[in-house]
Structure 1
Amino acid sequence: MATSTRRRSAAKSTKSKKKLTPEQRAKFAEKRKAEVQGLQEQLTAAVVEFASSEGWAALLKKMAQRSRIMRKYSFRNSALIFAQCPHATEVRGYNEWKGRGRQVREGTRGIRILAPNKVTLRDENGEPQKDEHGNEKHITTFRPISVFDISQTERAEAAQKPEGEPAAGDVMLPEIGAKVQGTAPAEFMDRLTRCLKSLGYTVEHGDTAPADGYADPATQTVRIGLGFPEAHAAAVLAHEAGHVQLDHTADMAEYRQHRGRMETEAESVAFIVCAVAGLDSSVSSLSYIAGWAGKTPEKVQETMVEVGQRVVEAARAILAFTAPDEDQDEETGAPEAVDSEAEAVPVAA
């Protein structure tokens, strides 16, 4: 069986790796281009389904319930993961699983995602190109790599049995549109308040009629209405924190122009943050989606990926205060996933 350790891969690459001919390199580039195109088409098909209020609500539930995926991967790659492996709960690269004492089952087909690859532009002499400020010019390309859900792995024989493994039902999720009842989780309001404080906002309670709450950029204040159950007040605070984190308060004229999209973004962020905390939340603005998502599948995909990524980034930032997780690194195309090592992985691409 081939090995996939970095030491063996590095040694192998210096001794026996064959240099590709120009024809082989061109063929490989065409194959990669075709796969990237295929993944983009798969992404478009998945995101078009998300553009309905029902589809977006279902996606929000999945992202909140399996927040480890959302915290680690971009919205684009999260969508590709769920499209290929709907039951995925925890996803990592081959070597990352191995480092955690788990082995990808031989013959397992990986989940293909698009890893970013930063490329330095060079001139005819091979020197980095510079812009007018003297900074090197870069472009970001994407290449397909394989990752694996925990269900595609097994515990390595020598690995110590962990205390527990993640399950799809770890987070109790509310029904979309349900009334917010009861009390808020311990310290949840305080942590949301600290998050807003880090963004320059203070929190107060008072009259907000006819709204439940609002963020005032002029005074850098978030106000929450009086007389609400604690859980509802927390959900409203999470919603307003979403607006502030998403920078919706920077230009109120723009907010009024794009209110539907911005309300969907803030409601989506609040739902994820509340659900991860185990708080019953509600999402009431999803019916706006059809009005601004786009008229063609390509435009819908472009718009929803942009919105989805904004929601993911804002939710991550707020969760860092309300539900910190040491393991929330983003995909970077780390060495464990590069093509030179992929040759040594005894699984299907």
Structure 2
Amino acid sequence: MATSTRRRSAAKSTKGKRKKQYTPEQRAAFAEKRKAEVESLQEQLTAAVVEFASSEGWAALLKKMAQRSRIMRRYSFRNSALIFAQCPHATAVYGYDAWKKRGRQVRKDEHGIRILAPNTITLRDENGEPKKDEHGKEKSITVFRPISVFDISQTEQADGAPEPETADGAEFPEIGAKVQGTAPAEFMDRLTACLKSLGYSVEHGDTGQADGYADPETRTVRIGEGFPEAHAANVLAHETGHVQLDHTADMAEYRQHRGRMETEAESVAYIVCAVAGLDSSVSSLSYIAGWAGKTPEKVQETMIEVGQRVTEAVSAILAFTDPDEDQGEEPGTTETADAEPEAVPVAA
């Protein structure tokens, strides 16, 4: 079979489409915004994987994470990394008001540790009523906003308050582990619809040692059983990436260029999941670094090489998982995120 590098554009489903018709200018503005978002995520992913491939720097980070499991249990992988980068000695981290509830006061003039907090926003129509999907569920999006948190070393004990208990012996997530939690609403259904448009069906069952695979002979994507829902969604996004990128068109070509193709597929999965509000860093970064190269320099070279193919595939898949007709409010009526819940009366 001849090698194939063609790209297929995902045709949008019109089922349940909103009655509102966007103008060409509005659609162009959305497309430009989406392109910038995907490119930004690709750049962030490249930087994170290159850092991961630096054994000296990453080994030190893992050691800190292992020693400070309380942070790893409370915060995402990405925010844990942000915390340790800004405060290497951090052991227990909470917001300003959360420390007050624990009997401690943030000292005056302490600088907050900046992390990204998820904020779910309900989408509303022009009358202010919640928008609903075809199943009658309210539509929402997740956005991330910077907030300040503080390590215990930046606080002092309030009069009469007990010292907080230690976290010795607590478990922490293993790097390269399964993505924990639930998947965003409708995310897997929309990935399945994307695969269906490409001629593939989805099933769950025994996948051997793999988490999932795409079989070009039966035109089937199979996802392993027993995974957390979030991890199953990440695996489904990965296999959708393989199919969208035509990696299954010629299996001999796939075997010859497996490193590049696995890097592409997981990069697609990471970005598609991120747009949906699912952080797959704990699984994706180590997976990509393992296939992209043995040195930070080779990793960066590979990531730059696959960048264009990844962004094209992501755009096609997002037409299903995050289509423009489901985006936010009509122009001029965009709902904004609520104000930060914890006011921080010290230097940020």
* TM-score interval (norm. to shorter): 0.3 to 0.5
TM-score (norm 1): 0.42
TM-score (norm 2): 0.42
